Amino acid sequence: METKNTTANSVNSVADLAQSLAGQSKLPKVGTTIFTVMSGLAQQEGALNLSQGFPDFDGPAPLLERVQHYLTHGYNQYAPMQGVPALREAIATKVQDLYGHRPDPDAEITITSGATEALFCAISAVVRPGDEVIVFDPAYDSYEPVIELCGGTAVHVPLLPPEFAVDWNRVESVITDRTRLIITNTPHNPTGSVWSAGDMATLAELVLKRPIYLLADEVYEHICFDGVPHESLCRYPDLYARSFVVSSFGKTYHTTGWKIGYCVAPAELTTEFRKIHQFNTFTSNTPIQYALADFLTMHPEHHLQLPDFYQAKRDHFCALLGESKFAFTKAAGTYFQLVDYSAFSSENDVVLAERLTREAKLAAIPISVFYKDPPDAHYLRLCFAKDDATLERGAQILCDL
């Protein structure tokens, strides 16, 4: 009898603990991400998935061959915490070639388990309770939860549609003595907008006389269109001196499932970054790091040709959508295209996205979920990192609506 009572009490205690934790969640407003929701619904409904941002084609064959080589030649133990030296050296060379600044491979470059981990570590390294962090809406959904975990507050500045340009007057108006960090994202996910050199100059005017750090989410750095260069913070010494610059190999090499990213930052910031990183993932996949080092060194033409590769897909997809009821401005960067469905429906974008997935068998991402205060606008985000047959099928579904 005593055993039964003890067991019952134990069960009740566990249930109470679970309920207590749910009531005291550190992230009470956070649910499952829209990417997981829409991809899951697409799979459930057998729908064409133009929602989550991953290619439906594989990475370059020579890169895959290098991974196989290192998998079968004894490179399967822990890599150094900061990343394989050859890969950090290759990144330093690439940054110098593209942006005119060579970061120290040992002191300023850290390999991470995807850009999401790098963003987490950078925010955690500098944001303290009571700090404010400026983000630009529609903002990628991984920023604010980390800010909140650190005791900070996200201050949302909406971009100005249809170009989704920065309202710099509004940015200046929200800067306070508590502003600790500004998170930039160019090329911008989910809108596909791209910052200009003028944007960077204005950013410099606002922060260089203030104790504000910068976190640059540059995972689509190699996907800028129409000959427009990517304005990395690595181009600007005064800005770089206070910046964490984050990028991703998954977006560049069509291998999002490998989850290998990196952060470039001045030595003092990198020291703080690595304090978080070493107790987060510590290190990342070893054979893939070696393979990336080889491919980046031997085939720089891949990232140099990537803008033309994805611009051709953007132009093909947009041409196909020309007969649809959707309005759009061609994306300036990334591999996402926003479409305005105002002429087609007055539905909430989340409702419409779910309905299209169930009824038309095509999944897209509603962008209102990336706003603190969604505007009265009607946009869906479509991924065009797909083979031509997929794009043609998707465009036909949209044109038939």
Nearest Cα to Cα of residue 262 among 79, 65, 75: 79
> How do beta strands 179-185 and 132-137 pair?
parallel
Q: What angle do CA 35, 40, 260 make, to 5 degrees?
A: 50
Q: What is the percentage of the chain residues whose pLDDT exceeds 70?
A: 96
Q: Which residue has the tokens 């990334």?
A: 334
User: CA-CA-CA-CA torsion for 354, 358, 360, 362, nearest 10 degrees?
Assistant: 60
| Predicted pLDDT of residue 5 | 53
Rounded average pLDDT over 2-9: 52
Please give the Cα distance from 391 to 393 (Å, whole number): 5
What is the overall mean pLDDT for the chain? Answer: 94
Tell me: the pLDDT tens digits for 210-264? 999 999 999 999 999 999 999 999 999 999 999 999 999 999 999 999 999 999 9
- Paired tokens of 240: 């770089």
307-334: average pLDDT: 97
Query: Which pLDDT score is estimated for 41?
Result: 93
Strand-pair category, 153-158 with 109-112: unpaired
**216 near 232, Cβ under 8 Å?**
yes
Q: In 3-state terms, what secondary structure has residue 312?
A: helix
Q: Which of 334, 319, 327 is nearest to 383 (CA)?
A: 334
Closest to 331 (Cα-Cα) out of 255, 388, 369, 385 = 385
Domains, the chain, with CATH or none: 34-58+306-399 (3.90.1150.10), 77-301 (3.40.640.10)
Which two structure tokens, joined as six digits, stand for 267? 């030595």
User: What pLDDT, on the 0 to 100 scale, is given for residue 7?
Assistant: 52
Residue 398 is given by DSSP the state H
Q: How many CB atoms lie within 10 A of CB 155?
A: 18
Angle at 365 between CA 307 and CA 399, to 5 degrees: 80
pLDDT attached to residue 30:
86
* Helix, strand, or coil (residue 181): strand
Residues 6+ apart with CB under 8 A from 322: none
- 142-184 pLDDT, tens per residue? 999 999 999 999 999 999 999 999 999 999 999 999 999 999 9
Long-range contacts of 350-356 (CB under 8 A, 24+ apart): 352/378, 352/380, 353/38, 353/51, 353/380, 354/41, 356/401
**Gyration radius (Cα) of the chain, Å:** 22
Residues 303, 99: Cα–Cα separation, whole Å: 14
Break the chain down into helix, strand, coil percent, rounded to 5: 45, 15, 40
What pLDDT band is residue 22 in, cutting at 50, 70 and 90?
A: low
Confidence of residue 1 (pLDDT cuts 50, 70, 90): very low
